[in-house]
Structure 1
Amino acid sequence: MALGPRLDLRQSQSLVMTPQLQQAIKLLALSNLEIETFIGEALEANPLLEIGAPAAPDAPDAPEDLRRTHLESSPVDQLIGEGRGGEDRPLDIDPTALDTDRDTGDSGGAGATDYAPDLAYDADQRPSGSGEAAPIEERAADGETLAEHLHAQIGAVTRDPRAEFIARFLIDLLDEAGYLPTPLREVAEMLDIPLAEAEAALALIQTLEPTGVGARTLAECIALQAREADRYDPAMARLIDNLELVARGEFPRLRRMCGVDEEDLADMLAELRGYDPKPGLRYGGGGAAPVVPDILVTARPPKDGDQGGWHIALNQATLPRLVINRGYYVEMRRGCDDKAGKGWLSEKLADANWLLKALDQRQKTILKVAAEIVRAQDGFFRHGVSQLKPLTLRTVAEAVGLHESTISRVTSNKYLHCDRGTYELKYFFTSGVASSDGEGAVSAEAVKAAIKQLIDAEDPKKILSDDTLVDLLKARGFDLARRTVAKYREAIGLGSSVQRRRQKALAGKR
């Protein structure tokens, strides 16, 4: 057979991510405020677009129940399934539906939906006690800086005015992570004091909360936290002194240096990862920006035999309503005599139609996912965080018939406001913890709320240890190991029994 160049014809099918579809995918992950910015840029670039009158809350064209809205399977889902989707995730939107034949429309077609569960809503039920998770506006309002937090503690740990002055001077030198970047010898020279006094003042700062502040190196920061946790034994000390070997993964050498076996070293490394290398970052540098919700959930009272439920709507105050100015298009069309001008105008019309379709599809998708989240977490909206159920992206994806990564995009940077406060949509996705009776599972957030409630109510003279918390939680139906309780306690910012005992002792002296 002769070898040589030749021409062959082949016919094949493939799915292509068009620029428009890629943009539609990115739109889905944006919050309402980011969409408002995007629309502002679109208005400047396209003369056919303009802001229309706000849609009425009960617009006749709004679907009664978007759970019934059918979204066509996305070709991007096939790309992801075939491993050819790259970093782009599907919108579950049919690109063929983004037609450019229509020259009118608006982006307000999907405004709200209702969810009516089987149980009636009790309007008098509200968050109760310390077990309720703090809404995001309360959490964002806490703008205490690290320096303010430390200054508030220093007066309670020393009565020596000179030592207090030096300590406050050092606090003001700490960086945002809680480290002291200035050598102590320079501090002593600046204040014209003996080096021993500067070291004593720094040791005073290192006893404050959060544990680890005032360190000069990462090893010192970790060592302070290990001492606080009563885990600073000789083996752990050698491990902390050789963090560079941990970074390089030289574990056989570390086992020999620490004199431990492989299992003990694994436990030590797990503890090491649990320490905070930058404790100062827990505190802000000023006031936090207010959070504007994207989704509004309100109680719907019983009506015509209905037992009541929830009304779910997008926040139209942050979502402009786009329309195409058809009259302006016709006028410009008549004035276009050259082919280039008509081509430009047709391109702008196609872009405007696509944008309206993409925004409308985005709203429908967000509402569809939000309705399923509200249905799945109905107990939370009625009774609080104690009734929060385990929920995963896959569960919601299967319920609404969308791709799992689409749910991830929808819930990113989106906030939901209800009677209990404002929460990020990601908040409602929590892992499950087995119940002690073996029936079903409970949300990790519900466990954290129970731990916080127990610790908030503890007697300052009888601080609860993690082992005691395990027993108390088991009595409430939560079957947890001690290590899991410690992990959840640290995740909600509550210290160990030793730390809490010292904090409450200091608070009692003030």
Structure 2
Amino acid sequence: MEFKLNLTQEQKLIMTQQMQLSVKLLQMSNFEIQTYIEKELQENPVLDAEYKKNDNDKAQDEIDYKKLIKHLEFDNYGHSSYHRDDEEVSPFNFISAKKSLKEFLKEQIIDLNETDYIKSMCEYIVENINQRGYLGTSIEDIAEELTISQELSQRCLEIVQSLEPTGIGARDIKECLKIQLIEKDLKDENIFKIVDEYLELLAENKYNVIAKKLKITVQKAQEYGDIIKTLEPKPSRGFYTGEETKYIVPEAYIKKIDGEYHIIMNDGTIPKLNINGLYKKIINNEDDKQTVKFVKEKLNSAVFLIKSINQRENTIYNILEKILEIQKDYFEFGDEYLKPMTLKEIADNLEIHESTVSRAIREKYIHTDKGTIKIKDLFTTGISRVDSIEDVSTKIIKKEIQEVINNEDKKKPLSDQKICQLLKEKNIDISRRTIAKYREEMGIKSSSKRKRF
């Protein structure tokens, strides 16, 4: 071992805090930007915000609530409505409370012909039901916590399991499915045996194996399987379970005006930022150097934030402009005209880095005549057509695969190799392995699992 000094030369990219903020803002959605700006406004006294007031907000301000209360006194809520000169307002616009699964269950418990003591224990069990609708604790634990017998605990659970939606309060998927079978008044032992012992085989469509084990025909096994597949494995589905809905705020609107498509940035939710004029006077005050230093730091931060937000909007607009140029036929005619398009292609056209495009479209949406779509979904790789210069997008290929499978003979489902041959007849050059990959991405089972007996 020895001590020595070495000189080395290396290139290293060090991102300043400002550069990091710029990148961070670029990949934020409109909603996240709005939240971030509100936080900055609280922390930076130099910043001022000017909020745009939408016409809808003005309309709500003008509503006469006394008239609305009278309006609610009508019996026929579906057909009566309070009128303004320029629009119609339904009373349902003012209903915002969401009924949760637990509230729905407790309302049913109130109407039960049971003692208050039993009802209170049933409500305790309901509180232990998880987001999927299953009981999240054991009968033994409930009995111990409530200092009651396991028999009484079991009886209260059975009461809860008799409530709507059917299958609620089950301890596992097998019990959940069996509760639903009993509700349907199905008493065949074989169907219960499939649920208890052969669910994995059912998931794999191995009806021939199930048939041998139960000593029944394959057709009968499949009949049982069809019934089980109609049951609901997640009884809480359709109810509010505490998970907040994430609302999508589109970054821009792509509208057709006078035969031409235009990009309209959705900046109504983002306030216009500017610098508070009061702080110009403070900077000119040479007596309080500490305050001047503080204000200058905050000014630098505010100016950079304003520039970064403007740069973010310009970057997104330029990317959307280039997408619109390439995918004009898609916006005009629909999915079948979606062209292959990559991040690199857009980046090269705009002379920016591919990662910038990736960050700019991350979790962002645009509103079009065909609905709200994720920008990332417009980026697809291409597969070559035989005897054709143009490539065909993966989205179109998946649609072709779906169509072929929909039209196949269900008794003899097509193999991936056969689908590959059929697509080649349509001038789409694609390998069997790629077919399998796309099929799995679409959630379509293999030919052996699609077979109907």
The reply to whether residue 324 of structure 1 matches residue 275 of structure 2 is yes
* Matched-pair contact (CA < 8 Å) for 1:466–1:485: no
Distance 1:470 1:5 in 2: 64
- Listed one character per residue, the Cα deviations across residues 262-315 of structure 1 (whole Å, up to 9, x for unaligned) are xxxxxxxxxxxxxxxxxx89x97857533221121111324xxxxx3x211321
SS of structure 2 residue aligned to 1:322: strand
* 1:51 counterpart residue number: 49
Distance 1:483 1:379 in 2: 30
- Listed one character per residue, the Cα deviations across residues 427-447 of structure 1 (whole Å, up to 9, x for unaligned) are 111121221334332111111
* 1:365 counterpart residue number: 315
Q: Closer, same or farther in 2 for the Cα pair 1:169/1:54, shift >3 Å?
A: closer
Give the counterpart of 1:203 among 194, 199, 207: 194
* Matched-pair contact (CA < 8 Å) for 2:413–2:448: no
Q: Closer, same or farther in 2 for the Cα pair 1:16/1:501, shift >3 Å?
A: closer
Q: TM-score, normalised by structure 2?
A: 0.57
- Listed one character per residue, the Cα deviations across residues 452-473 of structure 1 (whole Å, up to 9, x for unaligned) are 34555x3887776246644543
Give 1:418 deviation, angstroms.
0.9
Q: Please, which runs of 5 or more residues in structure 2 have no aligned partner?
A: 55-130, 135-161, 183-187, 210-232
* 1:396 counterpart residue number: 346
Give 1:4 deviation, angstroms.
11
Give 1:35 deviation, angstroms.
0.5
Q: Closer, same or farther in 2 for the Cα pair 1:10/1:383, shift >3 Å?
A: closer
Distance 1:461 1:351 in 2: 65
Give 1:229 deviation, angstroms.
11
The reply to whether residue 19 of structure 1 matches residue 10 of structure 2 is no
* 2:401 counterpart residue number: 451
* 2:39 counterpart residue number: 41
After TM superposition, list the pairs within 5 Å mapping 1:204-223 onto structure 2.
Answer: 204=195
Distance 1:299 1:205 in 2: 57
- Listed one character per residue, the Cα deviations across residues 160-212 of structure 1 (whole Å, up to 9, x for unaligned) are xxxxx9xx98896476xxx66x9x9xx99xx9xxxxx99962623887xxxxx
Amino acid at match of 1:465: L
Distance 1:376 1:9 in 2: 51
After TM superposition, list the pairs within 5 Å mapping 1:9-408 onto structure 2.
Answer: 16-52=14-50, 54=52, 173=170, 201=192, 203-204=194-195, 228=206, 288-302=245-259, 308=260, 310-325=261-276, 327-333=277-283, 337-408=287-358
Q: Closer, same or farther in 2 for the Cα pair 1:499/1:338, shift >3 Å?
A: same
Distance 1:492 1:314 in 2: 32
- Listed one character per residue, the Cα deviations across residues 147-169 of structure 1 (whole Å, up to 9, x for unaligned) are 89xxxxxxxxxxxxxxxx9xx98
Distance 2:40 2:384 in 1: 50
Percent identity over paired residues: 33
SS of structure 2 residue aligned to 1:47: coil
Distance 1:389 1:433 in 2: 10
Distance 1:445 1:499 in 2: 24
Give 1:451 deviation, angstroms.
2.9
* Matched-pair contact (CA < 8 Å) for 1:466–1:486: no
Q: Closer, same or farther in 2 for the Cα pair 1:485/1:12, shift >3 Å?
A: closer
Higher Rg: 2
Distance 1:486 1:12 in 2: 46
SS of structure 1 residue aligned to 2:383: strand
SS of structure 1 residue aligned to 2:366: strand
CA RMSD of aligned residues (A): 4.7
Give the counterpart of 1:479 among 429, 440, 443: 429
SS of structure 1 residue aligned to 2:339: coil
Give 1:343 deviation, angstroms.
0.6
SS of structure 2 residue aligned to 1:318: coil
* Matched-pair contact (CA < 8 Å) for 1:466–1:482: no
SS of structure 2 residue aligned to 1:50: strand
Distance 1:390 1:428 in 2: 8
* Matched-pair contact (CA < 8 Å) for 1:298–1:311: yes
Paired residues, number: 314
Q: Closer, same or farther in 2 for the Cα pair 1:147/1:477, shift >3 Å?
A: farther
* 1:428 counterpart residue number: 378
Give 1:317 deviation, angstroms.
2.7
Give 1:395 deviation, angstroms.
1.1
SS of structure 1 residue aligned to 2:268: helix
* Matched-pair contact (CA < 8 Å) for 1:433–1:441: yes
Q: Closer, same or farther in 2 for the Cα pair 1:174/1:400, shift >3 Å?
A: farther
Amino acid at match of 1:311: H
Distance 1:484 1:229 in 2: 28
Q: Closer, same or farther in 2 for the Cα pair 1:313/1:205, shift >3 Å?
A: farther
Q: Closer, same or farther in 2 for the Cα pair 1:401/1:203, shift >3 Å?
A: same
Amino acid at match of 2:319: V
Distance 2:7 2:206 in 1: 73
Q: Closer, same or farther in 2 for the Cα pair 1:284/1:413, shift >3 Å?
A: farther
The structure with higher relative contact order (CA 8 Å, sep 6+) is 1
* Matched-pair contact (CA < 8 Å) for 1:170–1:202: no
